[in-house]
Amino acid sequence: MSKPTDDELKIALQEAIRMKEQNDDPKYVAKALLSHNYRIKYLQQVLQIADRFMNHGMAEHERSQLLRMIEKAKDAESSTAHDEREDFGLE
C-alpha cells in the first residue's frame, strides 16, 4: 500500500475531524486516523534521532535526545490510550 501524499493526508484528516465533530464515525475510522496521526509524529522523531544516533558515533547528546523522544512517544501512547504510565525515574 502506498503512503498518501501530503495533500491526500490533509484531506483525510480534515474529513476525520469533520466526522468526529458531527459524531459520524460509526466504525471508528476517523478516531483511528486522528489517533495514529498524532502518535506517528512522535515515532517519526524517534526514528530520525535513532538514525542519527546510530550513524554518527553514538554521542551522548544524541543518546539523551533519543531517550527523551522515546519517553515522549510513550507518553503520547499512554495519553491516547487513557493509560497511566509508571515512571521509575530511569534515564
Report the pLDDT averaged over residues 23-47: 95
Residue 88 has a pLDDT of 46
Residue 35 has a pLDDT of 94
Report the pLDDT averaged over residues 18-27: 97
Which residue blocks in the chain are alpha helix, DSSP H?
6-21, 29-55, 60-81
Domain contains 90: no
Task: State the distance between the two ends of the chain, measured CA to CA, in whole angstroms.
Answer: 37
Domain contains 21: yes
Share of the chain above pLDDT 70, in %: 87
Domain contains 52: yes
Residue 84 has a pLDDT of 56
**C-alpha to C-alpha distance for 26 and 90, rounded to whole angstroms:** 41
Q: Number of folded domains in the chain?
A: 1
Domain contains 67: yes
Mean pLDDT of the chain: 87
Greater model confidence, 25 or 59: 25
Domain contains 91: no
Domain contains 68: yes
Domain contains 86: no
Residue 83 has a pLDDT of 62
